[in-house]
């Protein structure tokens, strides 16, 4: 039989066998003395021996089972009987610690059900192992984030739908590090306050917060970080304008199959698409006003300075209010109400792009498991899978 080092220094191999169920390796502890856990006195008086069957890492895709001969010692002081301790195997555990760690890694990017089937381990057992290790790792990563938290933090706050029926979770993200700092139920002000009240965050550290135009989030940020700069994500602002254009298109009832041409950026259209767009705008001259307003607003975000951007935004708002379209008039009123945080983008050019990408990853985590009944475990999964690389780089 092929001889491979076991990799567990505290154990020595007595013999090894190959059976239909895998490799059976008989081992025992190398130390012949053990300290009494009650009085701390070392003893070599063996009371009896028992055998524990423990599963270890596979070899050549064959399961490996360690048959550990565990000595039970008798203390010389108080005649107490105790078992020898093992660093590589937790008490009352049927798997080595390194095998449990391996199972945890297999579950990352997969489901417990899938790993359970491939490794031939009961689902409930693997579930207990995974979440036991996950809880420890989550605490370690939280401590790492707190220890390496810099000044001038840029936070991003957004919501994600977790169930049908407008059931949301609020997601908090460190934009510079690209790590999810936490999730909480619904998208109300109290949820945002709960997330923003973490020990790692303070009035001095948080410099900028990126939000959409959801009032409860703004209320929470103003309450906890009154000196922080609030920036409204530019993609949400542009979305308001493109939605206004789409609504104007719908008012031209005979116009069909033109949505793509109207909403896409003018510079991204091919020559044939531009000719088709010119024909549409020539046929519907009123719609050309809406299209012009949309393109003019896109030029607004290409402005270099704050003061020039302010002038352009005020000019656009006045033009939109004078347009014949109700949708643009409503969009102008909305932008006028949020004018200051919209213009803050030109002082701090951060967006919600990173958290939107992370939200897509969170949705994949949810789909992979066909949903989660236990939302606490869902949040734990998200925290571990969306902070691992960033926290390790910070610690380094």
Compute the distance between CA of residue 144 and CA of residue 138 in angstroms, rounded to an integer: 10
Neighbours of 261 (CB within 10 A): 19
Domain count, the chain: 4
Q: Do both 273 and 327 map to the same domain? A: yes
Q: What is the pLDDT of residue 150?
A: 76
Q: What is the pLDDT of residue 32?
A: 86
Query: Both tokens of residue 368?
Result: 């992979």
Q: What is the pLDDT of residue 394?
A: 42
DSSP string for residues in 102-139? HHHHHHTTS-HHHHHHHHT--HHHHHHHHHHHHHHHHH
What are the Cα distances from residue 330, in Å, to 134, 143, 173, 250?
Answer: 48, 46, 31, 16
Q: Is 157 helix (H, G, I), strand (E, B) or coil?
A: strand
Interval 5-19 mean pLDDT:
89
Interval 281-305 mean pLDDT:
91
Q: Which of 346, 10, 383, 27 is closest to 183 using CA atoms?
A: 383
Q: Which helix (DSSP H) or strand (DSSP E) does residue 7 occupy? A: none
Note the pLDDT tens digit of each residue in 88-113.
Answer: 999 889 999 999 999 999 998 899 99
Q: Where are the beta strands (DSSP E) in the chain?
A: 11-19, 22-29, 34-35, 42-43, 46-59, 62-74, 81-83, 153-163, 167-174, 179-185, 206-211, 229-232
Q: What is the pLDDT of residue 254?
A: 65
| In a domain? residue 249 | yes
Q: Is 167 helix (H, G, I), strand (E, B) or coil?
A: strand
Long-range contacts of 284-288 (CB under 8 A, 24+ apart): 284/252, 284/255, 286/252, 286/324, 287/248, 287/249, 287/252, 287/255, 287/262
Q: What is the pLDDT of residue 393?
A: 44
Q: Which of 290, 266, 294 is closest to 275 using CA atoms?
A: 266
pLDDT band at residue 205 under the 50/70/90 scheme? confident
Query: Both tokens of residue 51?
Result: 């055998």
Q: Do both 155 and 142 map to the same domain? A: no
Q: Which helix (DSSP H) or strand (DSSP E) does residue 66 occupy? A: strand 62-74
What are the backbone dihedrals phi and psi of residue 32, each rounded to the nearest 5 degrees, phi first? -105, 0
| In a domain? residue 374 | yes
Compute the distance between CA of residue 357 and CA of residue 237 in angstroms, rounded to an integer: 18
Q: Which of 99, 94, 102, 104 is closest to 130 using CA atoms?
A: 104
Residues 6+ apart with CB under 8 A from 292: none
Q: What is the pLDDT of residue 239?
A: 93
Q: Which of 393, 307, 361, 381 is closest to 138 using CA atoms?
A: 381
| In a domain? residue 393 | no
Compute the distance between CA of residue 370 and CA of residue 382 in angstroms, rounded to an integer: 15
Q: Do both 180 and 208 map to the same domain? A: yes
- Final residue of a domain: which of 71, 87, 103? 87
- DSSP letter assigned to residue 83: E
- Over the chain, what is the mean pLDDT? 89
Interval 44-49 mean pLDDT:
88
Q: Do both 120 and 171 map to the same domain? A: no
- Final residue of a domain: which of 36, 64, 87? 87
Note the pLDDT tens digit of each residue in 259-271.
Answer: 888 998 888 889 9
Q: Do both 42 and 117 map to the same domain? A: no
In the predicted structure, residue 233 carries a pLDDT above the cut 80? yes
Q: What is the pLDDT of residue 325?
A: 92
- DSSP letter assigned to residue 55: E
| In a domain? residue 271 | yes
Query: Are the beta carbons of 346 and 103 closer than 8 angstroms?
Result: no
Q: What is the pLDDT of residue 163?
A: 81
Q: What is the pLDDT of residue 396?
A: 37
CATH number (domain holding residue 191):
3.30.420.10
Q: Do both 212 and 263 map to the same domain? A: no
pLDDT band at residue 221 under the 50/70/90 scheme? very high
Q: Do both 226 and 365 map to the same domain? A: yes
Exposed e or buried b per residue across 304-313, where buried means at least 16 C-beta atoms within 10 angstroms of its C-beta:
eeeeebbebb
Interval 328-336 mean pLDDT:
95
Interval 339-357 mean pLDDT:
92
- Final residue of a domain: which of 110, 127, 147? 147
Q: What is the pLDDT of residue 265?
A: 87
Q: Do both 252 and 264 map to the same domain? A: yes
Compute the distance between CA of residue 130 and CA of residue 337 in angstroms, rounded to an integer: 48
pLDDT band at residue 395 under the 50/70/90 scheme? very low
Query: Both tokens of residue 314?
Result: 């005020």
| Axis crossing angle, helix 306-321 with helix 285-300, rounded to the nearest 10 | 160
Q: Do both 225 and 356 map to the same domain? A: yes
Q: Do both 115 and 156 map to the same domain? A: no
Q: Do both 276 and 336 map to the same domain? A: yes
| In a domain? residue 39 | yes
What are the backbone dihedrals phi and psi of residue 61, each rounded to the nearest 5 degrees, phi first? 65, 15
Note the pLDDT tens digit of each residue in 119-177.
Answer: 999 999 999 999 999 999 999 988 888 777 777 889 999 999 888 777 899 999 999 88
In the predicted structure, residue 2 carries a pLDDT above the cut 70? no
Compute the distance between CA of residue 237 and CA of residue 264 in angstroms, rounded to an integer: 16
DSSP string for residues in 90-102? -TT-SB-HHHHHH
| In a domain? residue 395 | no
Instruction: Supply the range of the domain harboring residue 198.
Output: 150-231+350-383
Q: Do both 271 and 330 map to the same domain? A: yes
Interval 338-348 mean pLDDT:
94
């Amino acid at each position: 039989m092929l001889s491979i080092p076991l990799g567990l220094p505290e154990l020595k191999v007595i013999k090894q066998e190959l059976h239909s169920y895998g490799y059976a390796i008989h081992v025992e502890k190398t130390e012949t003395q053990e300290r009494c856990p009650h009085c701390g006195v070392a003893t070599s008086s063996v009371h009896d021996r028992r055998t524990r069957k423990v599963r270890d890492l596979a070899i050549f895709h064959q399961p490996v089972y360690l048959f550990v001969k565990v000595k039970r010692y008798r203390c010389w002081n108080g005649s107490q009987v105790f078992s020898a301790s093992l660093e590589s195997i937790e008490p009352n555990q049927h798997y080595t610690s390194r095998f449990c760690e391996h199972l945890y890694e297999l579950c990352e990017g997969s489901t417990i059900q899938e790993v359970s089937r491939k490794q031939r381990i009961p689902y409930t057992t693997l579930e207990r192992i995974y979440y036991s290790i996950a809880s420890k790792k989550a605490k370690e990563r939280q401590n790492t984030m707190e220890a390496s938290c810099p000044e001038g933090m840029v936070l991003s706050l957004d919501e994600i739908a977790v169930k049908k029926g407008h059931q949301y979770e609020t997601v908090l993200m460190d934009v510079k590090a690209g790590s999810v700092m936490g999730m909480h139920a619904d998208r109300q002000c109290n949820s945002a306050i709960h997330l923003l009240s973490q020990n790692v965050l303070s009035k001095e550290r948080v410099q900028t917060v990126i939000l959409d135009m959801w009032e409860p989030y703004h209320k929470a940020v103003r309450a906890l970080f009154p000196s922080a700069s609030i920036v409204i994500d530019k993609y949400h602002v542009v979305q308001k304008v493109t939605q206004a254009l789409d609504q104007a298109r719908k008012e031209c009832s005979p116009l069909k199959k033109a949505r793509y041409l109207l909403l896409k950026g003018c510079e991204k259209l091919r020559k044939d698409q531009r000719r088709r767009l010119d024909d549409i705008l020539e046929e519907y001259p009123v719609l050309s006003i809406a299209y012009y307003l949309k393109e003019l607003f896109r030029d607004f975000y290409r402005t270099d300075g704050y003061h020039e951007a302010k002038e352009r935004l005020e000019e656009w708002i006045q033009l939109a209010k004078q347009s014949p379209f109700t949708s643009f008039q409503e969009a102008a009123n909305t932008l006028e109400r949020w004018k200051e945080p919209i213009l803050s983008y030109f002082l701090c050019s951060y967006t919600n792009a990173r958290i939107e990408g992370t939200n897509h990853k969170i949705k994949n985590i949810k789909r992979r498991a066909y949903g989660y009944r236990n939302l606490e475990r869902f949040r734990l999964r998200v925290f571990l899978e969306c902070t691992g690389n960033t926290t390790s780089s910070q610690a380094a």
